[in-house]
Structure 1
Amino acid sequence: MSKYMLIWRTTDEANAKMAEASFDDMLERVGRFNETLIKAGVLVAAEGLEDASQGVVVDYSSETPVVTDGPYGETKELFNGFYILDVASKEEAVEWAKRMPSFPGSKCEIRRVPGIDEFPQDNEWIQKERAWREQTGQL
């Protein structure tokens, strides 16, 4: 099994369509999908994000990082939430992503989350992270 992150991206078009839907309907659609993931035993984590207008961006382009309040200059695509699934393959992650409740203009980016065992185990920082994961029950 491998972990995959399904990154839910929305556009202004998708956000407008979501605004037309009732909040209760949206909760039901997402809730039903989440329940399916839970019953299948593949859900590791899932979170939605607050509106981008409430966020900030830290830009490291200059020597001193620059902080900019949202909304951002370019809002063609915004990271709106994510799922982390523990599935057998990228293809299985894609099949789950096809079932995500979404609106026209939405996209889902799928990226594998490498496990700690894939990093050099003799590295001091990997050893410290492994110890932290063991202490916190994440390993």
Structure 2
Amino acid sequence: MRFMVLVKATKDSEAGKMPDEKLLTEMGKYNEELVKAGVLLAGEGLHPSARGARVRFSGTSRTVVDGPFTETKELVAGFWLFQVKSKEEAIEWVKRCPNPMHGESEIEIRQVFEMEDFGAELTPELRAQDARLREQATKS
């Protein structure tokens, strides 16, 4: 099972405050543990929303909205992608994480859909297309 682990933004992360050396060292050790355990598939920090954009969809219309975005509690400051056996295992790994924002912070854990989750609607043709795209993406 794959889980997306989302580090929620704070006022400090949205202001562009960078982590100190102590936190970077702690996160480096934590990421090493994840890699050695075969859990970590990917993980990165994100720039503040002031440097981002959103694309809103309404039928065939597309509207681009530049950041910053006001609802800090709804924003993501970083992520990991874990490969684990269960949600409980993902939770245990997250509980071992250093506090990513010092003070108050929150990390959200969400399971990633796998192809088999889509059932009969995912036809053999769509499965083959997905397999081709995944193979091409890993070569990039």
Give the TM-score taking structure 2 as reference length: 0.80
Please list, as runs of the form range in 1=range in 2, the aligned pairs for 1:12-31 lying within 5 A after superposition: 12=11, 15=13, 19=17, 22=20, 24-31=21-28
**Alignment partner, residue 45 of structure 2:** 48
**Alignment partner, residue 89 of structure 1:** 86
- Offset of residue 128 of structure 1: 0.6
Maintained 8 Å contact 1:11/1:77:
no
User: Residue 76 of structure 1 aligns to a residue in which SS?
Assistant: helix
**Alignment partner, residue 133 of structure 1:** 134
Separation in 1 of the partners of 2:41 and 2:18? 30
Letter of the structure 1 residue corresponding to residue 45 of structure 2: G
- Offset of residue 77 of structure 1: 3.4
User: Residue 45 of structure 1 aligns to a residue in which SS?
Assistant: strand
User: Residue 85 of structure 1 aligns to a residue in which SS?
Assistant: strand
1:64 is aligned to 2:61: yes
- Offset of residue 61 of structure 1: 4.3
Alignment CA distance shift 1:66-1:94 (3 Å): same
Q: Which runs of 5+ in 1 are unaligned?
A: none
Alignment CA distance shift 1:129-1:31 (3 Å): same
Separation in 2 of the partners of 1:113 and 1:21? 28
Give the TM-score taking structure 1 as reference length: 0.80
- How many residue pairs match? The answer is 134
Letter of the structure 2 residue corresponding to residue 6 of structure 1: V
User: Residue 65 of structure 1 aligns to a residue in which SS?
Assistant: strand
Letter of the structure 2 residue corresponding to residue 105 of structure 1: E
Structure 1 segments, 4+ long, off by >3 Å, are 18-21, 117-121, 134-138
Separation in 1 of the partners of 2:126 and 2:19? 47
- Offset of residue 104 of structure 1: 2.7
Amino-acid identity (%): 38
- Offset of residue 82 of structure 1: 0.8
User: Residue 60 of structure 1 aligns to a residue in which SS?
Assistant: strand
- Offset of residue 78 of structure 1: 1.6
- Offset of residue 62 of structure 1: 6.9
